[in-house]
Amino acid sequence: QQPVQSPQAVILREGEDAVINCSSSKALYSVHWYRQKHGEAPVFLMILLKGGEQKGHEKISASFNEKKQQSSLYLTASQLSYSGTYFCGTEARSQGNLIFGKGTKLSVKP
């Protein structure tokens, strides 16, 4: 029931783009995306709700395919500050039970 994230790790050069995927075997109500830097707490990026539109935040955006129960996080023109581990969290119903994937480690090199 834990969502599956892919890839597990990715290394980029500054300015390159990346896509992180999150797939669930269950019907989803919402998908949450967080970024965590080493030694710090996770930080919220965005939420996608069932029936909602694609979200965007500067050069980071995400989509939610309800039919496939998949979400993708798009990072464009990556910056050094994008480095960290990205987690998706899925919610099957609006009831508070949030299940996270194992994370995708993103490293951006100069």
CB 98 within 8 A of CB 90: yes
User: Alpha-carbon distance 36 to 25, whole Å?
Assistant: 25
Using only C-alpha atoms, the chain has a radius of gyration, in whole angstroms, of: 13
Is omega for the bond preceding 7 within 30 degrees of 0, making it cis? yes
DSSP tag of 77:
S
Dihedral sign of CA atoms 50, 97, 45, 87 in order:
negative
Length of the chain, in residues = 110
Q: How far is the CB of 54 from other proteins (least distance, A)?
A: 17
Residue 97 interacts with other proteins (CB under 8 A)? yes
Among 2, 6, 25, 65, binds other proteins (CB under 8 A): 2
Stretch that binds other proteins, among 11-19, 37-45, 58-66, 70-78 (CB under 8 A): 37-45
Minimum CB separation from other proteins for residue 50, in Å? 10
Work out which of 38, 51, 68, 96 binds other proteins, going by CB under 8 A: 96
CB of 106 to other proteins, least distance (A): 15
Q: Shortest approach of other proteins to residue 10 CB, angstroms?
A: 17
What does the binding site for other proteins look like in residue numbers (CB under 8 A)?
Answer: 2, 30, 32, 41-44, 47, 49, 87, 89, 91, 94-103
